[in-house]
Amino acid sequence: MAEPPDSRVHPPPALLFQHPSRKVARAPLHQFLGEIATKVAGGRGITCLITGDAHLQALNNQFCSKDFPTDVLSFPLQEGGGGEIAVSFDAAARQAAEFGHSVEDELRILILHGVLHLTGLDHETDAGEMARAEAGWRKRLGLPRTLIERSQRPRRKQATA
């Protein structure tokens, strides 16, 4: 007799860091990934690759037929499993500077966004469901404004030299 889907044992979340930056503490990001894998994704196994723009562009081209870099991509696994997300460290660094918070916080925002996509939410096709979920989790997790919130509000002005 098969067990119900929510009682399956999933592999622990994995954080793969393939970017040369040593400026980011990886242990807290791994802990964050574990926390949202449990709280947001119901304990599903999630692998998160943090890499650069060139790798995200190649993945975006290969899987989405879009030949440009992006900040985060999500790849759900079949049969109610977890999934994989890829995050551009380069994009995270630019966006953190643009919005006035740390690179670590931006990586957390991008990871949260990717994990929400793994749960089946899609801000491009839903009626605001993902935006509401993302805003709620952002508040609970103490994060700055999330991707969807930022796209709906004016950006912070850059200081001029």
Confidence (pLDDT) at 77: 77
Confidence (pLDDT) at 132: 92
- State pLDDT tens for residues 37-73: 999 998 888 999 999 999 999 999 999 999 999 999 9
Confidence (pLDDT) at 124: 83
Confidence (pLDDT) at 105: 94
Amino acid at 153: R
d(CA 24, CA 108): 12
Domain ranges of the chain: 10-150
- Fold observed for domain 10-150: Collagenase (Catalytic Domain) (3.40.390)
d(CA 146, CA 139): 10
pLDDT at 107 over 90: yes
d(CA 47, CA 144): 23
Give the global pTM. 0.84
Confidence (pLDDT) at 24: 86
pLDDT at 11 over 50: yes
